[in-house]
Structure 1
Amino acid sequence: MLNSINTNPGALLALQNLNATNTELNTTQSRINTGKKVASAKDNGAIWSMAKMQSASSSSLNAVKDSLQRGQSTIDVALAAGDSITDLLMKMKEKALAASDTSLNTASFNALKADFDSLRKQITKAVDNATFNGASLATGSVAAMTFLANADGSGFTVQAQTLSLAGLNLTTATAPTFTTATEANAMIAKMTDALQTATNKLSALGTLSTGLDTHLTFVGKLQDSLDTGVGNLVDADLAKESAKLQSLQTKQQLGVQALSIANQTPQSILSLFKG
């Protein structure tokens, strides 16, 4: 073995091992501090890129969920209006039936007619107020509304169900009403048809609402799966890293000791020159 004061192979080797230990220790400490084994592109470029793309997809799904929730609310408002309208139609049918009684005196007939007309106006008010965020599926202002369905921008289309008097086939040259018992009798069938139309439209809205609920649940599960997948790619196993930290700290201390011993070797050469 070469003994030299210019070159100390043992010290060089000990220093290399200590530097390697320090590098591992820095990596482990970084993982513990950040909670990630891949915190940046320099840690693992391929994994980092993959995780970023999946995180972007997961983040985009927040906008999808917001859009679907707006869709739910828009349908819920239309359904609430529809429930009120069906109640009003039933009451209108009841008033028309009562007014068809030819034994009524004029005052009673006129009172029933006034009630009928008031209920009809309430239908229009209910439809006009069935809006959410300025949009409505009940007024007939739009034929359909499309909400976000996926992160790629594809849509979930909801067909409008017009609940106005026109949508219920109740508009004529004049507003639906009656002036005689005979007209009131004819109005009974119209109210029955309008009620059937309204319930059919509400049934369609209910089916669409269920579809939105199901898709929203799926989007939530998809987002959770993406987030879990990203975590599997980049998150550090803190229990494992903690144990490794203890090991590396011990190894670092031993490396410092080994370097100290190796640095003492050249001093032994002095003993060769003692007389």
Structure 2
Amino acid sequence: MSSILTNNASMVALETLRNINRNLETVQNEIATGKKISSAKDNAAVWAVATVMSSDVESFKAISDSLSLGSSTVGVARSASEKVVETLKEIKTLIVGAQGENVDRAKYQTDIEEKMGLIEGYVAAAQFNGLNLLNGSASGDVNVLASLDRSSSGSVSASYIAVARQDLSIANTGSAATFGGTAVTNTTIMDNAGTAAGTAATVAGSATRTVSIASVADGNSYRITLSDTTTNNSLGTRSFEYVASAADSLESVAANLTTQMSNFFAATGETNYSVTRNGEDIVIANASAQALSVTTVTATGGTAGVSSGGLGNLANIDVTSTTGAAAALTTIEGLLNTAIDATAAFGSSQNRISGQSEFVRTIVDSMTAGIGGLTDTDMEAASAKLQALQVQQQLGVQALSIANQAPQALLSLFR
């Protein structure tokens, strides 16, 4: 039935053209913005996910800046500590030269003191943005923001890389400690929890004595004194002392004392005695036929004192005498090991930060690609769709024009 009041064909053609125009507008917006989802009304679920990911990308960019700052700070400290190591090696060379009998030890001492000044300069200058990891001005680790962790429940937490400070200062010599005796039995216990009035232990010929480090605290001092009084042995009386820092453990204290004794035996050509370490235990062996006296003391019996700088003993080196030159040889070995350990620690920390920084960059790239996959327009497909819709639009206009002409045909019935 034909009607002049209702043109069904025209309504269908009009609605079709409207849908084509809406789709054409959508495609044109996608091409113009480059986004197939630019607001929540386009696709609320995808938009929400993409928005959270975009926020995380910006956060990771801030983390990358933090890692760069941390890497620079540690890099400055590492470079300075490497210079300290090189200078300590030069000081060791001077100390070795001062071991001779017919040398001008005063000149060696002057050169050594000049090198000490260089070390103080390196340590003082090793700061980045006001943070110095070498001068012992603060304790505790420095935390570098490393990552942003999001759980499945949506909660977010930050994670950090802890960089340990390494005290390589000289000027911070600390205050003197008052020592109290610690009792010695079959195994000597060096424990700062308390002091007992003990006596020296005797290591018989061809026997060993174990010294066990039982507790460690920042500023506590540990001293082992070896003494032989017979004419057959050549040690005399020699003390080995170490002041623990906050970063020390039972094993590191034992390792330092062991290194001091071992280096002394090697430097003096002492073959009657040897020392090894097993964890926190120091094993002193007497290969001679005569007895060796071993006395251990800690600082708990009196005043613990203030922890000295990591290279504080460097200021006590004095090679102007035969005894001082021999003692300096032992001291410099311990100080050199301290500086080497510090440099290695900084190198490890900087390497870890660099690796994390690279990982964060990879995460940012991956998340950016993921966001693009969710929201970006496929330009090739959009171009093809645009051309198709433009053709559909032209056809829709023609169809609507034809449908609108249908009522005109009814007039011929009345002519």
Tell me the TM-score range normalised by the shorter chain: over 0.9
What does 1:10-89 correspond to in 2, within 5 Å? 10-89=9-88
Report the equivalent of 2:105: 109
Q: Deviations over 1:195-232 (max 9, x none)?
A: 11111121122111221122112211111111111111
Report the equivalent of 1:199: 340
> Whole-Å Cα distance in 2 between the matches of residues 208 and 29 of structure 1?
52
Report the equivalent of 1:100: 99
> Whole-Å Cα distance in 2 between the matches of residues 64 and 167 of structure 1?
33
Report the equivalent of 1:3: 3
Report the equivalent of 2:392: 251
User: Does 2:259 correspond to 1:118?
Assistant: no
Report the equivalent of 2:373: 232
Tell me if the contact between 2:168 and 2:311 (Cα under 8 Å) persists in the aligned partners.
no
Which ranges in structure 1 are unaligned for 5 or more consecutive residues?
none
Tell me if the contact between 2:96 and 2:329 (Cα under 8 Å) persists in the aligned partners.
yes
SS in 1 for 2:312: coil
User: Does 2:312 correspond to 1:170?
Assistant: yes
Report the equivalent of 2:411: 270
- Report the Cα offset of residue 169 of structure 1: 4.2
Paired AA for residue 147 in structure 2:
N
Q: Deviations over 1:7-61 (max 9, x none)?
A: 2111111110000000000001111111111011111111111100000011100
Moved more, 176-185 or 18-27: 176-185
> Whole-Å Cα distance in 2 between the matches of residues 176 and 98 of structure 1?
14
> Whole-Å Cα distance in 2 between the matches of residues 185 and 42 of structure 1?
83
Report the equivalent of 2:321: 180
Moved more, 84-93 or 249-258: 84-93
Which structure is higher in strand share? 2
- Report the Cα offset of residue 171 of structure 1: 3.3
- Report the Cα offset of residue 188 of structure 1: 1.5
Q: Report the identity percentage.
A: 37
> Whole-Å Cα distance in 1 between the matches of residues 334 and 312 of structure 2?
9
Report the equivalent of 1:148: 145
> Whole-Å Cα distance in 1 between the matches of residues 345 and 79 of structure 2?
14
> Whole-Å Cα distance in 2 between the matches of residues 219 and 256 of structure 1?
54
Count of paired positions = 269
SS in 1 for 2:131: coil
Report the equivalent of 2:293: none
> Whole-Å Cα distance in 1 between the matches of residues 407 and 133 of structure 2?
90
C-alpha root-mean-square deviation of aligned residues, in Å?
1.6
Q: Point out which structure has higher relative CO (alpha carbons under 8 A, 6+ apart).
A: 1
TM-score, normalised on structure 2?
0.62
Tell me if the contact between 2:105 and 2:319 (Cα under 8 Å) persists in the aligned partners.
no
Paired AA for residue 88 in structure 1:
T
Tell me if the contact between 1:93 and 1:191 (Cα under 8 Å) persists in the aligned partners.
yes
Q: Deviations over 1:105-137 (max 9, x none)?
A: xxx432221111010111111001001111122
- Report the Cα offset of residue 167 of structure 1: 4.0
SS in 1 for 2:42: coil
Paired AA for residue 70 in structure 1:
L
- Report the Cα offset of residue 176 of structure 1: 3.5
Paired AA for residue 3 in structure 2:
N
- Report the Cα offset of residue 76 of structure 1: 0.8
SS in 2 for 1:150: strand
Report the equivalent of 1:160: 165
> Whole-Å Cα distance in 2 between the matches of residues 156 and 95 of structure 1?
39
SS in 2 for 1:153: strand
